[in-house]
């Protein structure tokens, strides 16, 4: 009798384990709105990476196991589900001073306008993000016009040095990120997990390599691999089920930066005289609420100095909405 009970236990245990590992495609698509701004972290602050906006469409999940797209993955023969994302993005960079007399030891004026194409491959306990950015920096990015409109609508003072921004340049950048998931505590009402990650970028806008992780505390941590962000820390993932989930999290990402066009200036011509800080870190705190494909999140990110003459570190806030349909 005891042997029979033991065998039944093994059947139930391994069946539960298999079900936990089973990947179910999420059939909903997403419309996504991201906004990053230093004013979300500190009122009346406009400096350095001061704002980023991203609008995107995310497809449903597909099984590409018998398609050539399966080869666009580090482990192309593993069981996985894939989705693609198309985004329109704009970033704004300014110095500390708004004066028309520009201090060339301060952060350059710069803007970035791009189309981002991303493929995400979700496995049972990890996600892989592959992104290509095609865009432009300089006046063609329309960064000055965007900032002027926003400051006029919000009755904030203008920046008067945009005529010194970095020149027009075509941008092609590649990004790769891999996030792992390890459960530390998994109960009916409270979970804890960690999300170690590494990422690399190569291109004429940014070239870097980094790694770090997040730790999350909350209810049902099996609906995403952490929140997305625009220009800080991780790309994360979209939700992949309809279950209610809520959590708080903290994270750190360390990077070695070899190239940053927004500080060093254009790839050709006279370089800026700023000295790039090569070893950087981002530290973050945030929360997220998910239900039936909808997700709202806020993240506070503390960024280390990015160039030697910078007046201390910089903080920025991120607000994220995902709408499933």
- Give 110-135 pLDDT, tens digit per residue: 999 999 999 999 999 999 999 999 99
Classify residue 153: in a domain, yes or no: yes
Classify residue 15: in a domain, yes or no: no
Classify residue 24: in a domain, yes or no: no
Cα distance between residue 76 and residue 74, in whole Å: 6
Please determine, for residue 92, whether its predicted confidence score (pLDDT) is greater than 90.
Answer: yes
Residue pLDDT, tens place only, 179-216 = 999 999 999 999 999 999 999 999 999 999 999 999 99
pLDDT for 5 equals: 41
By three-state DSSP, how is residue 164 classified? Answer: helix
Classify residue 50: in a domain, yes or no: yes
Please determine, for residue 55, whether its predicted confidence score (pLDDT) is greater than 70.
Answer: yes
Cα distance between residue 135 and residue 228, in whole Å: 20
pLDDT for 45 equals: 81
Share above pLDDT 90 across residues of the chain, in percent, rounded to a whole number: 79
User: Among 18-32, 62-76, 281-295, which range has the highest average pLDDT?
Assistant: 281-295
Cα distance between residue 109 and residue 67, in whole Å: 44
Classify residue 187: in a domain, yes or no: yes
Closest to 120 (Cα-Cα) out of 65, 82, 67: 82
Q: Which residues of 190-229 are buried (b: 16+ CB within 10 A; e: fewer)?
A: ebbbebebebbbbbbbbbbebebbbebbbbbbebbbbbbb
pLDDT for 179 equals: 97
Please determine, for residue 20, whether its predicted confidence score (pLDDT) is greater than 80.
Answer: no
Mean local confidence (pLDDT), 138-144: 98
Please determine, for residue 178, whether its predicted confidence score (pLDDT) is greater than 90.
Answer: yes
Closest to 61 (Cα-Cα) out of 122, 126, 117, 129: 122
* Domains of the chain: total: 1
287 exposure class (CB count in 10 Å sphere: 0-12, 13-18, 19+): middle
Share above pLDDT 70 across residues of the chain, in percent, rounded to a whole number: 94
Beta-bridge partners for 200 = 176, 209
Cα distance between residue 208 and residue 61, in whole Å: 29
Cα distance between residue 287 and residue 275, in whole Å: 35
pLDDT for 10 equals: 41
Quick one: pLDDT band at residue 224, thresholds 50, 70, 90? very high
Classify residue 266: in a domain, yes or no: yes
Classify residue 18: in a domain, yes or no: no
Domain CATH code at residue 61: 2.40.128.140
Please determine, for residue 11, whether its predicted confidence score (pLDDT) is greater than 60.
Answer: no
E strand or H helix at 12: helix 2-21
Backbone φ and ψ of 80, nearest 5°: -160, 165
165 exposure class (CB count in 10 Å sphere: 0-12, 13-18, 19+): buried
What is the DSSP-derived secondary structure letter of residue 159?
P
Please determine, for residue 67, whether its predicted confidence score (pLDDT) is greater than 90.
Answer: no
Please determine, for residue 286, whether its predicted confidence score (pLDDT) is greater than 60.
Answer: yes
Residue 188: domain span: 30-324
CB atoms within 10 A of CB 267: 15
Quick one: pLDDT band at residue 65, thresholds 50, 70, 90? confident
- Indicate yes or no: pTM above 0.95: no
Mean local confidence (pLDDT), 17-29: 74
Cα distance between residue 282 and residue 186, in whole Å: 28
E strand or H helix at 10: helix 2-21
Classify residue 51: in a domain, yes or no: yes
The region that residue 33 occupies, defined by phi over 0 for left and psi between -120 and 50 for alpha, beta otherwise, is beta
Cα distance between residue 168 and residue 266, in whole Å: 8
Q: Where are the alpha helices (DSSP H) in 175-291?
A: 261-264
Q: Residue 316 in contact with residue 303, Cβ under 8 Å?
A: yes
Distance from CA of residue 277 to its chain's centroid? 21
pLDDT for 8 equals: 38
Least confident of 14-23, 35-44, 72-81, 219-228: 14-23
């Amino acid at each position: 009798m005891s042997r029979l009970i033991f065998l039944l236990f093994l059947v139930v245990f391994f069946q539960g384990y298999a079900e936990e590992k089973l990947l179910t495609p999420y059939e909903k698509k997403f419309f996504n709105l991201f906004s990053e701004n230093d004013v979300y972290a500190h009122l009346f602050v406009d400096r350095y990476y001061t704002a980023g906006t991203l609008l995107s469409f995310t497809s449903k999940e597909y099984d590409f196991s018998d398609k050539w797209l399966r080869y666009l993955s580090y482990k192309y023969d593993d069981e996985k589900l894939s989705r693609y994302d198309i985004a329109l993005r704009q970033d704004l960079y300014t110095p500390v001073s708004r004066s028309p007399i520009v201090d060339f030891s301060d952060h350059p004026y710069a803007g970035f306008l791009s189309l981002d194409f991303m493929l995400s491959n979700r496995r049972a306990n990890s996600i892989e993000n592959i992104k290509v950015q095609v865009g432009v920096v300089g006046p063609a990015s329309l960064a000055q016009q965007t900032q002027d409109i926003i400051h006029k609508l919000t009755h904030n003072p203008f920046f008067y040095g945009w005529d010194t921004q970095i020149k027009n340049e075509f941008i092609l950048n590649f990004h790769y990120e891999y996030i792992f998931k390890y459960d530390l505590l998994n109960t009916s009402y409270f979970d804890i997990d960690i999300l170690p990650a590494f990422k690399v970028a190569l291109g004429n806008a940014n070239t870097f390599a980094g790694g770090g992780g997040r730790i999350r505390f909350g209810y049902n941590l099996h609906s995403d691999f952490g929140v997305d962000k625009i220009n800080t820390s991780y790309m994360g993932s979209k939700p992949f089920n309809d279950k209610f989930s809520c959590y708080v999290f903290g994270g750190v990402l360390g990077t070695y930066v070899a190239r940053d066009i927004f500080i060093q200036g254009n790839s050709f011509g006279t370089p800026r005289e700023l000295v790039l800080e090569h070893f950087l870190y981002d530290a973050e705190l945030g929360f997220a609420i998910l239900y039936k494909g909808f997700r709202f999140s806020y993240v506070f990110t503390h960024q280390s100095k990015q160039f030697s003459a910078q007046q201390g570190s910089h903080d920025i806030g991120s607000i994220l909405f995902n709408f499933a349909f």
